Amino acid sequence: MNFTHPFRDEDGDKLREECGVFGAIGTKDASAVTALGLHALQHRGQEAAGISSFDGTNFFTRRGLGHVVDNFSGEDALAELPGFMAAGHVRYSTTGGAGLRNVQPLHADLASGGFAVAHNGNISNAQTLREDLVKRGAIFQSTSDTEVIIHLVATSRYPTLIDRFVDALRLVEGAYSLIVMTPEGMIACRDPLGIRPLVMGRMGDAVLFASESVAFDVAGAEFIRQVEPGELVQVDHDGEIRSMHPFGKHPSRPCIFEHVYFSRPDSVFDGRSVYAARKAIGEQLAIEAPCDVDLVIPVPDSGVPAAIGYAQQSGLPFELGIIRSHYVGRTFIQPSDSARHSGVRRKHNANRGLVEGKKIVLIDDSIVRGTTSMKIVEMMRDAGASEVHFRVASPPTAHSCFYGVDTPERNKLLAAQMDLEPMRQFIKADSLAFVSIDGLYRAVGSEPRDPKCPQYCDACFTGDYPTSLTDLTRREDEAAQLPFDKVA
């Protein structure tokens, strides 16, 4: 299954999903298994891919811009990555920006030996830590926040590598799922709140880790369990597994947007089928925001499961009123500005014979800037729809994410600038409604949101950030001290 998210290339009107990580230890084809796993996680990062391997003596790394298939499809590429342990990464740039030097896994030779790390998430005090490390003599090779972890491990004074690693993570704020390779074996860990996902599997004698369970399906492995929030799992080359919780117990706050959009629908997240959760969100949306229409139409592809749930709950026909082209790639040549602005129509076309003269409701997973929603509504009206209503399978996205998701600045989020009625007017729909935050919680199998102790990280909807945001606070304080004419 090639699960892709439309529109993002034209105007950034979808949230970009952090990154994806995969690791395998205890199999002679570790790099090949890792490449398969990364292919299943391609939707989590389409900017770059990398794999590092270890053969018992040496570390090997191959990294490149583009998709997994662009970099690891041939036998020659995998031949460069021998060994029985490998870790891989697919990337969107969050902290640090684009460029080959920021492609992971990152590798360094420490006093204890090689150290390769793949990171999904974002360190929210990375800049502060980095400045301190530079003052102490550290020399950085990338602008990635992940490299901060390597330097913290290298400069820790604890005697063992695992203690230095834990010491480093105690200084880190934010969200992370990490897969680390050392000469002694593999370490997988998840931040104390479990904001970013990480799961564990088996394939024969091999132990695997991945951002999503679907990677095990594609690799032919068995899903065992999720790595618990704050858990650190060590696997040595004899296959012995040790688990520890060095950060104590905290109420978990996994990212609820994994259910809404990030994870593939054929994955299991937080113990629940993502597909089932998205259908349930659509059902809840139909209960909260019914619509007197002829047809329920998903905005492909991410709106499909919610639209099915909406249609089933409301008793309305589900139809594919928008047909998506699967052959428009990221590198499509743009001969002119007018062609570039026609991106929605290149990827999507209204099924005119179906929607003409009909009242329709469009179901999408989210609205970010709103520009794509406006274009889709306009396209359906041009195809002859008599009424175009819009329903959204998440609450309004009114706040930026600082945990590894590439969200626009808050002043570019439509819901941060407008109330519901101005938003409706902006996208030019006949009506607009979002699922409530309590409805979203119910749909994913939880109790209604507890404002004193939320069960998920839902900061993009509520502004309730579960950790300190040191770097952001510093930037805001510095901006407040500037003269008015110097503030960007």
- Extract the tokens encoding 481: 């001290």
Ranges 90-94, 122-126, 236-240, 347-351: which has the least confidence: 90-94
Amino acid identity, position 391 = R
- Write down the pLDDT at residue 343: 58
Angle at 236 between CA 168 and CA 69, to 5 degrees: 85
Active site residues: 19
pLDDT at 3: 33
Give the pLDDT of residue 408: 72
Is pLDDT at 442 greater than 70 in this prediction? yes
Please give the angle made by the CA atoms of 131, 406 and 64, to the nearest 5 degrees.
80
Query: What local confidence, expressed as pLDDT, does residue 485 receive?
Result: 53
- At residue 215, does pLDDT exceed 60? yes
**Phi-psi map region of 7: left, alpha, beta (phi>0 left; psi -120 to 50 alpha):** left
Check residue 342 and give its pLDDT: 55
Q: Is pLDDT above 90 for 8?
A: no
The pLDDT score that the predictor gives to residue 94 is: 52
Task: Say if residue 482's pLDDT is above 60.
Answer: yes
For residues 44-70, one letter each, b for 16 or more C-beta atoms within 10 angstroms of the residue's C-beta and e for the rest, the string is: bbbbbbbbbbbeeeebbbbbbeebbee
Q: Which two tokens stand for residue 52?
A: 């590092």
In the prediction, which pLDDT does 340 show?
39
Give all domains of the chain, ordered by start, each with its CATH number: 8-253 (3.60.20.10), 278-324+338-446 (3.40.50.2020)
CA 449 remoteness from chain centre: 22
Segment among 99-108, 192-201, 388-397, 474-483 with least mean pLDDT: 474-483
Q: What is the pTM of this model?
A: 0.91
